[in-house]
């Protein structure tokens, strides 16, 4: 018998806990990410987009079927993908949900024009992310990373905080320069950078790259 696959911590976090935590006024990340993704989708000349770490599909309401012929929603959590498929069923065949372990199964990913990775690189690291970029071969890459002044408490305090205890095992503290350097080495040029402040000494930074 094959040994049981070790689950990624993200497979153990309920979508309710995740979304309830992220939408609290004291966290304000779900709302901020939604507005930032709207711009990510609008700012690039692409008709195929892949969104890594899609979770519950926050931001998919900004997908214009006039612009995008295909939207790939990628996550490691099958339950998240089921919810996305139900919530955004109106997108029809435009939306395709893919359960992929980005560290071990990048070969399963199709190619795309625009790759969006919001609060994702922190959990797989720059090396695995660049491997995903090479496999999907996008013209444009748009990432949002979280910058923390308090590196000891990178998850904001909330009634749901203990749902995220297992993430310490896979979380990588991100720096703009490290991601930019990794992408430059992969043959991409750095585009504009945008920052949105959050509560608790945190900020979301959007970094764009293009070939």
Question: If you write DSSP's letter for every residue of 54-99 in order, what string do you get?
Answer: -TT-TTGGG--TTT-SEEEEEES-HHHHHHHHHHTGGGGGGEEEEE
Edge-to-edge strands of the sheet including 189-197?
95-99, 70-75, 48-52, 114-118, 140-148, 202-210, 189-197
- By the 8 A CB rule, do 136 and 112 touch? yes
**Average pLDDT, rounded, for the chain:** 92
Q: For residue 14, what pLDDT is reported?
A: 97
Lowest mean pLDDT among 10-19, 46-55, 197-206: 197-206
Question: Which contiguous run of DSSP H or E holds residue 194?
Answer: strand 189-197
Taking residues 177-185, report their average pLDDT: 95
For the cut 70, the answer to whether the pLDDT of residue 4 exceeds it is: no
For the cut 90, the answer to whether the pLDDT of residue 176 exceeds it is: no
pLDDT above 90: percentage of residues in the chain: 79
Taking residues 107-116, report their average pLDDT: 98
**Banded model confidence at residue 48, pLDDT cuts 50, 70, 90:** very high
pLDDT above 70: percentage of residues in the chain: 94
For domain 9-58+65-210, give the CATH number.
3.40.50.150
Q: For residue 151, what pLDDT is reported?
A: 53
**Banded model confidence at residue 150, pLDDT cuts 50, 70, 90:** low
- By the 8 A CB rule, do 56 and 32 touch? no
**Tokens in use for 89?**
């069923």
Q: What is the DSSP string of 118-181?
A: ES-HHHHHHHHHHHHHHHH--SEEEEEEEEES-TT--SPP-TTGGGGGGGGGT-----HHHHHH
Q: For residue 170, what pLDDT is reported?
A: 87
For the cut 90, the answer to whether the pLDDT of residue 1 exceeds it is: no
pTM for the full predicted model: 0.93
Question: Which contiguous run of DSSP H or E holds residue 37?
Answer: helix 29-42
Taking residues 195-200, report their average pLDDT: 91
């Amino acid at each position: 018998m094959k040994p049981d696959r070790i689950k990624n911590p993200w497979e153990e976090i309920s979508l309710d806990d995740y979304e309830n935590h992220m939408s609290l006024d004291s966290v304000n990340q779900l709302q901020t990410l939604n507005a930032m993704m709207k711009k990510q989708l609008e700012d690039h000349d692409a008709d195929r987009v892949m969104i890594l770490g899609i979770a519950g599909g926050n931001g998919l309401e900004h997908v214009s079927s006039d612009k995008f012929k295909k939207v790939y929603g990628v996550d490691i959590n099958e339950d998240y993908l089921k919810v996305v498929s139900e919530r955004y069923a109106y997108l029809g065949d435009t939306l395709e949900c893919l359960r992929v372990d980005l560290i071990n199964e990048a070969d399963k990913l199709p190619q795309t024009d625009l790759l969006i990775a919001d609060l994702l690189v922190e959990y797989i690291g720059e090396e695995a992310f660049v491997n995903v970029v090479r496999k999907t071969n996008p013209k444009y890459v748009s990432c949002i990373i979280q910058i923390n002044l308090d590196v000891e408490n990178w998850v904001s305090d909330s009634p749901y905080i203990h749902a995220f205890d297992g993430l310490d095992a896979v979380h990588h503290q991100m720096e703009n320069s490290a991601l930019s350097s990794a992408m430059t080495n992969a043959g991409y040029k750095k585009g504009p950078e945008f920052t949105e402040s959050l509560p608790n000494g945190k900020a979301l930074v959007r970094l764009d790259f293009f070939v």
